[in-house]
Each structure stands twice: as C-alpha cells, then as structure tokens.
Structure 1
Amino acid sequence: MAEVPFIAIEGPIGIGKTSLANKLSDHFNFHLLREIVEENPFLGKFYDDIDEWSFQTEMFFLCNRFKQLEDIEKKYLKQNKAVISDYHISKNMIFARRTLQKDKFDKYEQIYHILTQDMPVPNMMIYLHASLDTILKRIKMRGREIEQNIKPSYLAQLAQDYESYMNEFEIMHPEIPVIRINGDEIDFVKYQNDLDAIISQVQNQLNHFTTISK
C-alpha cells in the first residue's frame, strides 16, 4: 500500500463519487485525481450499442487510467503527497465482466493485469451505494447528455456487480478499510451534517497513518 494517504472512492454511475472527492479534497487539502469520462470518444456509442462498442470503450478507459495512476505515483505519492481519487482502477474489471464477450474479456484481462501489476494501491476505500431509483434521479439531475440513453436494467446490474465486488474486496484486502455510504439515507451535497459525518469517518481512518501530507 501507499505510505501516504491514497483514498479511492467507488460506486455505480451517478452515485456522487466526483462530488464527494471534490469536497474531501478541499477539506483535507489532498490532491484530487479525477477519472477521464466524457473525453472517451466511444462512450456515447457504447451506451447506444454496448455489444458493438464495449471493447473499444473499456480499452480507452484502461489506458487512460493506467497513465493517470503512473503520473500520480511519480508526482505525488512518491513525493509524500496525499491523494484522493474518484475511482479505483479495478472498476475496469467490473465493467469488462459485464460488457465484454468471453473471447474479448480474456484478452482484456491479460492486458489489465500486465498494466496494473505495479500500480499504487489505495489504502482507504469509500464505497457509495444506493437504490436504482436514487441512482436514476442523480443521473437525471446532473444532466450529462451522454448518459441519458443508459438503460435502467444496465444500471441495476451494475449496482449489483459493485456490491458483489466490494464484498469480495473486503475479504481479499482486510488491511484496507472500506467506508460504506448509503446514498438513500445520506445526501452530502445538500446537507452539511451528512458531509461532516463522512469527514469524521475518513479522519478516524487517517489517524492510523503516521505520515499525512497537508
């Protein structure tokens, strides 16, 4: 694990990962790493025809996230500077398993493991989850045109995939604390008290680190 705080926030599309990452970055004065989404030239086509465009879409995300993490390791973590990210690169496998045909998934998985074997690993995870109704409302609220054609059935499957993944993650990585946030009960964008409660949980975990870069 990284020697300085490296926090990753994960959860389904539209759940509020970037919003929370921004707020925590401001509060703790940690460098913010945001994933590249709208820059993906295949994403709109992917939501229209998942089978046809899934491999191109997933490969674009994988290569860009690899480059981002490579830069983060050199410029921040190795310089003893804390980082908070609105994604964990392992999310690539969640989407790939859901969208790729077996032959393409097998190739993708090999490339994924080659690229990520030496990548920095977060030492804290924040997992945002919510019901399908809440996810759909938040996607509609943020109004990204590219996301308006996402099928609810796909989002429901994705939410289940995330839940299974995070359950497995906690078993496989007991040394990495996971803070679970229920988006049906907490709205950290609207209510400061909800945000303060999350900040308190994060601070409690940060207290275990001996090196915190402010």
Structure 2
Amino acid sequence: MTKGERTRQHIIEKTAPLFNKKGFDGTSLSDLTETTGLTKGALYGNFADKDEIALEAFKYSIQKVKEVARAKVAKADTCKKQLFALFDFYGEYVFDPPIPGGCPMLNMAIEADDHRTAMRKVVTKELMDTISFITSLIENGIKAGEFKKDTKSSEIAYTLFCSIEGALMFARVEKSDEPMKIIIRHCKNLINQISK
C-alpha cells in the first residue's frame, strides 16, 4: 500500500463513524480535520470533495457490517440456523454496531431519500444486496429441504429485513432493545412457519 493509499484509508476509517453519527450535513470540515488530524488540503488532496469522502466512508461502514454479519452466519451449518444467526447479529447490533452510530444503511437511506439524492443509487444497491443475501439463504433452505417448496423467498426476505430495520430505528430512538427482541422473535417464528 502506497503512502497515498494509506492516507486515503486513514481518512475513510476515521470519518466513517463521524458521518454515521452526524450525517452528511451535520459533519463539518472542521469535524473532518479534527477527526483525521489532517489539514483541509490533505483531505482534498486525497478526495475530490466532502461527497466523495462520505461515499467512501459509507462503503467502508457497510463492508464492516457485512464482514461481521457474514462471519456469524458462516458458523451455522443449516440455512435455518444461518438465518437465526443473522437475526441474532442484528439483536446485538442495536447498541453495539461495528461502526458507531447505528445502522449506516438506515442512516444514509434517510438522507438519500430526499436530500442527498446522489447517494440514492449506492444505498439502493446495498439494500437490494441485503435482500438478495436473505433470499438466497431461504432459497438454499428450500433446495436443502429445510423450508417448504411453496415459500415465497423474496417476499419473506423483504418482510424480515424491513422488520429488522424498523426495529433498529425504533430501538435506537427509544434507547431500548425491547423492540428488537420482539421483532427477532417474530422473524424466528416466521422462519419456523416455513420450516418442514
């Protein structure tokens, strides 16, 4: 890794929690320089602008979340157990996320919806990748004979993920893990219902 690549990586790693906690507009240039210990010139010598830093910080945050989630899922030996491991990951994730500040996808989706529309395509791709991942776990379970053949894998994936993201939002605002516990029980019950 070159010195320039190391500097870029340093900026991304340091600013990811900042953007995740404060959002794009809430993060000032002085926040970026203070967090990274670099000057404005050093920041913009490595990135075109604040938008590019935010985009790369978001991608880094999502990658960290995926790494932790997939590591937990990989330890399970059946599709059903893998789904349960994913739900349990989100249960722990509520107040102990891999990147401080909560769910980067949820946080950025709120900004990308109306305000930071340039980020919408990137956020949408990550949302769809997550749905595809859950769908593939269900479809693999159907093929393995764990789940009923008439299971609508995509519909269930949307239901599971949207429920979990909603519970994340509610739990973080309420400062209680109770909403997430309720939704995780609901998600596991739903998987039990499609199990053979």
- TM-score normalised over the length of structure 1: 0.34
Query: Between Structure 1 and Structure 2, whose CA radius of gyration is higher?
Result: 2
- TM-score normalised over the length of structure 2: 0.36
Point out the structure with the larger strand share: 1
